[in-house]
Each structure stands twice: as C-alpha cells, then as structure tokens.
Structure 1
Amino acid sequence: MSTGTPSHTPSPPDPSPPVRVLLAEDQVMIRDSFKILIDATPGLATVGEAGTGTEAVFLARLHRPDVVLMDVRMPEMDGIEATRRICADPACAGTRVLILTTFDLDEYVYASLQAGASGFLLKSAGASELLAAIGVVASGEALLAPTVTRRLITEFLHGPRSAPATRDLDAVTQREREVLTLIGRGMSNAEIAEHLHLTVGTVKTHIGRLLAKLDARDRAQLVIAAYEGGLVAIPDGRR
C-alpha cells in the first residue's frame, strides 16, 4: 500500500572532469588529427593548440592542462626546452608532459626526460596507444614500458652523447638501490617484485621513498637517477 510519500531516485554522481590536453605540434594536419581524436574520446578534452615551443609554454601557463602532448622538433623553441620550462614552473605543478618522438631520428629522448617529461610516445603509435598513453601520464604514472626503457638505455649508451651527470645516492638504502637499479634496467613493478622476492606493494613503497629522496617527479626521473648514480651498467663494461 502506498504511503503517499513520493519516491526519489538518487541522482547519479557527477562524472569526473575530463583530462585536459594541450597539443604542441607544429604540423597542422597532425595536430588537427590529434584534436579530433581526443575531443571524440569520452573523458578527454583539448584545451589549447600550440604550433611552437614558445606557444606551448605560454598556453601551459594559461590553461594549466593535465597533459601536454609535446613534439620534440618545434620552431622558435624545441620541445625539450619547452618541457623544461613547463616542468620548472610552479604554476604548472600539476601538468605532465608526454613527448612525441620519431625515435630513430630524435637524439633527444634522454634530454627530454631530464627536462621533466613523464614519458614519450612514438609518432608511429596507433590511436588506441595514444589515448592510453595520455591516460597513463594523466594518472601520475610514467610512460616507460620495460621494452621501451631498455631501448632508450641502449640508444643513450651507444649514442654520441656526453656522459650523464653524477647523482648522490647517499640517502638511498641498499634495498632501494636494488630497486632503483632494476627500474633503470626497465623492469616493471611485478618483475622487480619477483626478482627481489618482494610483494608488489613493498616494491611500490620503495619506489615512493625513492621518489621522495631523489626529488623525482615519476618513474621516468628514477631511470635518469639510475643512470646518474652509476647503477646502470654500460654494455661494453664502462660506467
């Protein structure tokens, strides 16, 4: 029997705000394609388009996007310098940079990670890979898949680059050094856990401490720290 009290259907929770993406790409056709793809994907939205590195820095400060999709080779200011300025700007503290690269041609992937980028993506990647990459970086993770990390390490060590700067690891415990070494070798959390006979949760705890001690933004920066701390062995035997 009805009580006469009107029933109320609870309102659904408000959807999460979309991941806000700034596009920094000097080729208009590529930039337009990215914009169409991103704006057509639920949970993503473009907030600006930059055709130069200078514009990318300006628009990042203006819009404070979640992710900047940054080409390396840009007029006026290259993507590495633009990345460095964005990542060093307190106004862009919540912004992460995903570098776009044609890996076999660009010699600057390592430098872009040093500049503060949270990862990189090949321009040959498919649409699904691009969208997944944006999601990974926006969530605070680094887009450095183990196989890609290993290739990056090989390219860096054999390329015509100057030796990496040294990194002080005095505050890092022996176990944390072991974890950092395996990160530098491109291992995933699960692989590190298996290798060191730890739980994945324990590995994540060590990584959290490494991020704090080494003032690293994310896993990408830990790879750099492993280089600079001399923990990653060079194939020909040099350190």
Structure 2
Amino acid sequence: MSDGPTLVIVEDDADIRTQLAGYLEGEGFRVVGVDGGASLDRHLAAGPPPDLIVLDWMLPGEDGLSICRRLREGGGPPIVMLTAKDEDIDRVLGLEMGADDYVSKPFNPRVLLARIRAVLRRVHGNGAPANENAAETLRVADLVVDLGARRVTVGAARTEVLLTSAEYDLLHCFVTRPQRVLSRDQLLDWTRGRTADAFDRTIDVQVSRLRHKLDASGSTASALLKTVRNAGYILAAPVRPAP
C-alpha cells in the first residue's frame, strides 16, 4: 500500500467510486471509498482523519452540502466537492458551506488530481510566497498566526480559531502582506492556484467566511479586513512578531 496522503471518496455510484479510487491509488494516494454520510462517519470515528475528502454533492439521504457543513463545524479535513451543478451560484454555495475546491461532473480525473494536489499543497505549505525574513509567529490586533503550525489563536488565552485550509491561506496572504491592497486576481492565484476557475465571487465568499469566523471567535481582527472598492482587499493594520 502507498504511504502517500490518505483520501476518502464519498460517492454513491460504485463504478465511479471504484474507478476513481484505482486512478488515485495509481498516483500514489491511499484511498478509502464510502457510499454516503453514514459510512463516512463510521470511517472517521474508527481512525485518524484523512488528509482530504472527495465529496459528491448529490448523495442519497444526507446530501454533500449538509455533510460538508457539519464537517466544517467540527474542523474536519479539507474537502473537494464533485458536483453536476456548474452554475456560479452553486459553486458559491459549496464554498459557503466550507468546501476548499470543487470539480464539475463530468470531469477528467487529471483535473481532479490537480485540484487535490493544489489543496494539499495549501494545507502543508502555502503557495503564496511570503517574506522569507518574516517571523514564524505574527500578531495583528488580538490575533496570533503561527505560520509554521498553520494555527490561529485569539486573545490572552490563545483560544484556537478553527479555519479551513482555504480560509487560513487567505489570512496568511493578508498577515504576510499587511497594509497593502491585494487584488482578487492575486488572492485567487495565491490561495487557489492556476487550476482553479477564477471568478471574483470566489474570493468575496472566502473573505466573508473568514470575517465571520474571526467575529465568531471574538476577535476584533475581522474589522481590519477592509474592502477597497474596485481594487480588492487590505489588512488595514500593522503586523508584528508575536512573543
């Protein structure tokens, strides 16, 4: 068996699940296939979490959006959604539920492979080139960002803020480039990679989600993420090394 990253494929069509598992195993992944939310829950309860979940949108019983939402509420692994819905509003809905990326059916397995690898790169090492001399741990307002551990905490008690990989990558871009206007195209490139379908609403949704998570944590930092009309976004505060 491969010692590569572990993937769970949640797909009710046994033929698609088997073919996709075989392809991804051939690319060096360890793959577990399950047919829905209940079997996914049993698998997650039985062992260590996978590195990534490939989640079909249209499932019998609990659908993929519902599964995605509750996994995100528990700080689950990154998710790439498979969807037959190809409208922008459907993509936005998937992102709002916490998906890190999406692939529209029918799809080329090589496209899915590229998306999986891009998400895993973001999880294990941000693709956005930051200042090489930057401190490993940064503070902005009451927020502390540990770049090495990809961990975000708030307040004197250092309470952890649970972010998805995409939300963390977006925050990483802001804290390593404070007080600079960052365009949507730049943020798309740095956080989602060249394989992603670039449309402005993607970044708008992710910024909204990041602000909501920071607000919910009690942090004041969300108010510092400012929208710059017709230009992009800016973290309107200095960032300094954290003690």
Q: Which amino acid aligns with 2:189?
A: S
Q: In the alignment, is residue 114 of structure 1 matched against residue 114 of structure 2?
A: no
* Aligned residue number for residue 70 of structure 2: 85
Of 2, 7, 19, 2:5 maps to 19
1:138-166 deviations in whole A, cap 9, x for unaligned? 2236xxxxxxxxxxxxxxxxxxxxxxxxx
Contact kept, 8 Å, 1:109 with 1:120, in 2: the verdict is yes
Contact kept, 8 Å, 1:24 with 1:69, in 2: the verdict is yes
Q: Which amino acid aligns with 1:69?
A: V
* Aligned residue number for residue 131 of structure 1: 113
Query: How many residues are treated as equivalent by the alignment?
Result: 152
Q: Distance in 2 between matches of 1:27 and 1:106?
A: 25
1:26 Cα deviation from its structure 2 partner = 1.1
1:25 Cα deviation from its structure 2 partner = 0.7
Contact kept, 8 Å, 1:54 with 1:76, in 2: the verdict is no
Q: In the alignment, is residue 33 of structure 1 matched against residue 19 of structure 2?
A: yes
Question: Which consecutive segments of 4 or more residues in structure 1 shift more than 4 A?
Answer: 184-187, 229-233
Q: In the alignment, is residue 59 of structure 1 matched against residue 60 of structure 2?
A: no
Q: Which amino acid aligns with 1:122?
A: S
Per the alignment, do residues 17 and 188 of structure 1 end up closer, same or farther by CA in structure 2, a change over 3 Å counting? same
Secondary structure of 1:104's match? Answer: coil
Contact kept, 8 Å, 1:25 with 1:51, in 2: the verdict is yes
Q: Which amino acid aligns with 2:65?
A: I
1:39 Cα deviation from its structure 2 partner = 1.4
Gap runs ≥5 in structure 2: 124-173, 192-206, 215-221, 231-243
* Aligned residue number for residue 183 of structure 1: 184
CA RMSD of aligned residues (A): 3.8
Per the alignment, do residues 33 and 109 of structure 1 end up closer, same or farther by CA in structure 2, a change over 3 Å counting? same
Per the alignment, do residues 50 and 214 of structure 1 end up closer, same or farther by CA in structure 2, a change over 3 Å counting? same
Per the alignment, do residues 216 and 67 of structure 1 end up closer, same or farther by CA in structure 2, a change over 3 Å counting? farther
1:98-128 deviations in whole A, cap 9, x for unaligned? 0111233796322221121111112233222
TM-score (norm. length: structure 2): 0.51
Contact kept, 8 Å, 1:54 with 1:82, in 2: the verdict is no
Q: Distance in 1 between matches of 2:93 and 2:228?
A: 18
Q: By percentage of residues, which structure has more helix?
A: 1
Per the alignment, do residues 54 and 140 of structure 1 end up closer, same or farther by CA in structure 2, a change over 3 Å counting? farther
Q: Which amino acid aligns with 2:61?
A: E
Q: Which amino acid aligns with 2:72?
A: C
1:49 Cα deviation from its structure 2 partner = 1.9
Q: Distance in 1 between matches of 2:38 and 2:83?
A: 18
1:189 Cα deviation from its structure 2 partner = 3.9
1:1-239 equivalent positions in 2, closer than 5 A? 17-42=3-28, 44-46=29-31, 48-63=32-47, 64-90=49-75, 92=76, 95-104=77-86, 108-140=90-122, 178-179=181-182, 182-183=183-184, 187-189=188-190, 214=211
Q: Distance in 1 between matches of 2:211 and 2:185?
A: 14
Q: Distance in 2 between matches of 1:29 and 1:106?
A: 28
Q: By percentage of residues, which structure has more strand?
A: 2
Q: Distance in 1 between matches of 2:8 and 2:180?
A: 36
Q: Distance in 2 between matches of 1:189 and 1:106?
A: 21
